[in-house]
Chain A
Amino acid sequence: MSDEVILKIYRGDDTSGEMVDYSVPVAPGMVVLDAIHTVQATHAPDLAARWNCKAGKCGSCGGEVNGKPRLMCMDRMDKYPDNEPIEIRPMKSFPIMKDLVYDVAWNYRVNEKIPPIEMAAESDEERLFSQEEADRVQEFRKCIECFLCQNVCYVIREHDKKQEFGGPRFFVRVAGLEMHPLDKANRLGLLKNDLGLGYCNITKCCTEVCPESIAITDNAIIPLKERVVDEFYDPVKKLFRVLFTK
């Protein structure tokens, strides 16, 4: 890799902005967030960028590097071609507050719609569940809420269905609750109506960008879709329920 690289960084807010060039020295092992810090230290102390742990665990430093949603702290500079500028933009799906900082408050409003875990009886709280059952929902607990999946999901990104759609992050959360062996709540109506699960057409972009490698589509969204079909669209299941449910 060459000694210097040009970063083209978005500077502006939600209404207008520009791509500004900065030349930064490259060091071995450098990640994109390091380069942002170098720009802040040497060229533009007013460049706004959010970060926290710099270890891929806090989920704060999401952005779009050469058009791909990534955690900037996990994105090594040496994988980009020499002598080509690297473009860094804020996430496209959320309102831009300043430069690379965007407002993810909508996600927290979606989260508030989801009922927490619900135990049916006191005795259930004392019941242990097996390691196998724990393993199944554990995958969903890995989510660091970086919202890269929400950003790349084109139902949000291209169609702006924020009023009718929950997004992959919250399908993962619902899956973790719905598949919990001690939970008794039913969130299938919420999934179908308020979180708009039917809008997802399983094109797997959320899975592709997940930094925690959660199989969002295969392990969360599709199993939830199957459960919604059980509840609302399968006539044979409906008939069984009518005949055999007291």
Chain B
Amino acid sequence: MASEVSAPREYGLGKTERRDSWWVGPLATALGFGAFILYSTFRDIYNDDYVSFEGRAGWGELLSPFYSPLPPESIRGLLPIWFSPAFLILWAPGGFRLTCYYYRKAYYRAYFLDPPACAVGESRSKYRGETRLFLFQNLHRYFLYFALMFLVLLSIDVVRACVFESKDGGMTFGVSVGSLVLLANVTLLSMYTFSCHSLRHLVGGNIDCFSCVAFRKGRYKLWKGTSFLNKNHMLWAWVSLFMVGFADFYVWMVASGTIPEMPDELKELIEK
């Protein structure tokens, strides 16, 4: 029995014969990214409460990852009042994520609807893919070099957060909730960066014959290691994005005094 007359193919945005909830993935991605972009933009413009205990003796300094590395006061003093120091920094991690192979997939699907999902139609306007204007995506390897530098800088922030001034005026090592938050942040960012496709290419992906090159075992192991992490690049991308936002939020809350870095009772107990 013929149930309907059908053209062999139909084209156009959203046209599909799929019956599952294909739109959930791109919608969740769009909302997740959108929330992060709104939050991070607000915090960049907010330009306050990004460092706790700055210049105050006694406790380790917590610096928001959105504002790290913080330019010295002499340079910050030269900036217009509306110009947040975060603007000097965020182009590098922002560019790294913008040109990341995973994020490209995610925002092409979620925002460009190009395509919205597999086997779902998209607009049939002139298609150029990653040619011409989108050749800028090839800058990813350069942003990678900056991302690696930022891992070092953020690691230094963790160490600084763990160094306290003791009662006798010397320095002592201690761990606070804030330093653990910063440590978790740099750890997840490291997993994201070390699982990068460009890094994987750089350390060994560009080699055809491992047995023909110097340091063959080391380079092969590096390539295998990055390949292992690369399998979960999407996971690292998401959890590191969440964590960097959370780390900033935690520092904001501590710096603004909304939550204490350490309860007063515990502080007194330690000082006794």
Contact = CB atoms under 8 A, between A and B. Distances in A.
Interface of A: 8, 10-21, 64, 66-69, 87, 89-90, 92, 96, 129-130, 132-133, 152, 154-155, 157-159, 161, 178-183, 196, 198-205, 208-209, 215, 217-218, 222-223, 226-227, 229-230, 233-234
Contacts of B5: 16, 18
A226 B8 contact: no
Given A21-B1, A67-B19, A133 B210 contact: yes
B8 A14 contact: yes
Contact of A202 (B17, B18, B101): B101
Interface string B59-98: 0000000000000000000000000000000000000000
Interface in B39-77: none
A180 B114 CA distance: 33
Nearest to B18: A67
B6 A92 contact: no
Interface string B92-113: 0000000001001100110000
A18 B4 contact: yes
B129 A155 contact: yes
A152 B17 CA distance: 13
Interface in B116-141: 118-119, 121-122, 124, 127-131, 134-135, 138, 141
Contact of A69 (B4, B101, B119, B130): B119
A40 B133 CA distance: 51
A176 to B, nearest CB: 11
B224 to A, nearest CB: 8
A228 B134 CA distance: 15
Interface in B1-30: 1-9, 11, 16-20
Contact of A208 (B8, B118, B122): B118
A178 B119 contact: no
Contacts of B108: 201-203
B201 A223 contact: yes
A222 B101 contact: yes
A217 B129 CA distance: 15
B18 A68 contact: yes
A199 B119 contact: no
Contacts of B231: 215, 218
Contacts, number: 151
A89 B205 CA distance: 39
B6 A158 contact: no
A90 B9 CA distance: 10
Contact of B17 (A66, A179, A180): A66
28 contacts: A8-B3, A15-B8, A16-B5, A17-B7, A20-B1, A21-B3, A66-B19, A67-B16, A90-B8, A133-B210, A152-B119, A158-B115, A158-B122, A158-B124, A181-B212, A199-B127, A199-B128, A199-B130, A201-B105, A201-B134, A203-B108, A209-B118, A218-B233, A222-B101, A226-B201, A226-B206, A229-B138, A234-B138
Contacts of A12: 6, 8
B193 interface: no
B131 A178 contact: no
A205 B118 contact: yes
B184 to A, nearest CB: 26
Contacts of B209: 129, 133, 181-182
Contacts of A183: 208
A229 B9 CA distance: 36
Contacts of A17: 6-8
A71 to B, nearest CB: 15
B185 interface: no
Contacts of A68: 18, 20, 118-119
A201 B101 contact: no
B128 to A, nearest CB: 8
Contacts of B119: 64, 67-69, 92, 152, 157, 205
Contacts of A222: 101, 197
A201 B114 contact: yes
A154 B130 contact: no
B129 A201 contact: yes
Contacts of A227: 201, 206
Given A87-B17, A181-B209, A218-B230, A202 B104 contact: yes
B246 interface: no
Contacts of B233: 218
Interface centre among A66, A68, A154, A203 (most CB of B within 10 A): A203
Nearest to A6: B3
